[in-house]
Chains A and B, each alone.
Chain A
Amino acid sequence: MGTQRKGAIVGYAEWPTVRRYDGPRRFMLEQWMDLAAEALADAGLALEDVDGLVCGTLREANMFVPATVVEYLGQPVKFAEFVDLGGATGTGMLWRAAAAIELGLCDVVLCALPGLPIPSNPDPRDRPPPEARWLGSTSNAWGSPQAEFEVPFGNVAQNAGYAMIAAHYEARFGSCERARAQISAQQRASAALNPLAAFYEKPVSLDEVLASPMIAEPLRLLEIVMPCAGGAAVVLASPEKAKQSPHRPVQITGYGESLTIKTPTFADDLAVTPVAAAAATAFARAGTTPAAMDLLALYDCYTITVLLTLEDAGFCPKGAGAAFLAERNLAFDGDFPVNTHGGQLGVGQPGLAGGLLQPIEAARQLMGRAGPRQVRDLNRALVTGTGGVMSEQVALILEGA
């Protein structure tokens, strides 16, 4: 399916993800510029090569985000997108960029998601309201169904929603507690080898995960991502422009997206996520199958997200995830490498930029740049992005050219 002209990842920038950032604070536009410079240098391309741009939300602009970034960077483009898919924003940016290149709309697309703290605003009227801190992905604006039918019950942000998905799953298919703890512990083992990770050199055991405090049953503290500071950017290029990059181009050969609900209260089946539709589309477009994947880089805001993603992407039947994981080792040198950078459970979650860390790790591995955690004989990877509470989903197939 599709055309021969594939968009490929040719360079990236990934800032260290840190729990307590004490460096200089900069506006997101300033961070955009830094990330663009680093990613373009990595790709062996110059600013004037860029003719496409994909943005996520900016604190400095509620509207006209791409034009604001274009002007700030000083580089006109022929293709601009604004993506609003929560944790799936990063992967959603990449397939839009790749599709634009496939269509011949542009040749070099820059995607960046800043995630460092911005300067403290001296004017209190410009600060976000205190409730913004606990609302998370929930809208409390008048007229929002969540403001009327979720917030009054305390079903806000992400923990309770993911916990209710996990509880429903366990009520139907049995406990997956040990499998979830295994995901966390094995990813932390990989993060211990990743100097960019907040948990570098800080592994945890399966028993430590099981002993961590209960937050929302059945989910425990060490099954939940830690909010961090960071930032990431990716440069995609057409086959002609990719020749200028010093790296093995990593083509995006398949992509799929699925949105079904905002709040899982209204999911048709709480145990089946939009991953199923997104991954099926991505595999079909790439003409490949789950069995052909050498590496998985799966969005992991919670442990349960990884387990459900494995099932819904077709690696094992629904309900069989725990048994499937019990026989596998997710580490870089294991038989089933998943999130070899540590995932967000091991790296930390630098806001929306967390959704670019999975595709960047897959690209790093496919380019052969993963150093001590390099997976050998690597050609194909599945990458996923999850937004909200399993409410928006993107799947990508990455292949080394």
Chain B
Amino acid sequence: MTETLLAPLAPKMTPTSTPFWAALGEGRVVLQQCDGCEAWVFYPRPRCPHCLSPALSWKPVSGRATLTTWTHCPRPTAPPFTGLAPQTLAVVTLEEGVRMSTFLLETAGRTLELGMALSPRFVPTEDGTATLLAFAPA
């Protein structure tokens, strides 16, 4: 994969998650944190899924993560991803403890390991409407 990678599918963004996508468009990562129980929340919600408080604040975070699992897919997982095959899909855990789905970049010559450190990469979508949060070995 190259640095000019474009993601084929845009997320169907919602009003609740607008700050998350807006930050990614500026090369920043923000997450919701509960003002009440201090839990970090992902994906974005109107209430905390730990204590149901509606008081959630958007906070800037580093975007650093560790690798929780991955699968190297020689075949595209769906027709829109044919141009990206082979793809390495992954689940990562951010420093704040929240999980997210993603794909990995810059993995050539790297041995992937559980818990390995990852840095964020910002990948625009083909239609120019959004920026996805991908990751690469740190």
Contacts and interface: CB of A to CB of B under 8 A. Distances in A.
Contacts of B128: none
Interface in B25-52: 43
B110 to A, nearest CB: 15
Nearest to A158: B77
B101 A149 contact: yes
Interface residues of A, number: 39
A215 B78 CA distance: 12
Contacts of B70: 164, 167
A105 interface: no
B34 to A, nearest CB: 17
B5 to A, nearest CB: 12
Interface residues of B, number: 38
B79 A265 contact: no
B101 A150 contact: yes
Contacts of A167: 69-71
B71 A156 contact: no
Given A145-B43, A164-B89, A265-B91, A154 B125 contact: no
Interface string A146-160: 011111111111011
B12 to A, nearest CB: 4
B91 A171 contact: no
Contacts of A165: 69
B132 interface: yes
Interface of A: 134-135, 140-145, 147-157, 159-160, 163-165, 167-168, 171-172, 213-218, 263-266, 270
Lowest 5 CB-CB distances: which A-B pairs, in order? A168-B69, A163-B71, A171-B114, A134-B78, A147-B12
Interface of B: 7, 9-14, 17, 43, 68-81, 84, 87, 89-91, 99-103, 113-114, 125, 130, 132
25 contacts: A134-B79, A135-B78, A142-B14, A148-B12, A151-B11, A152-B11, A152-B125, A153-B7, A153-B102, A154-B76, A154-B77, A154-B81, A164-B89, A167-B70, A168-B69, A171-B69, A215-B73, A215-B74, A216-B71, A216-B75, A217-B74, A265-B91, A265-B99, A265-B100, A270-B68
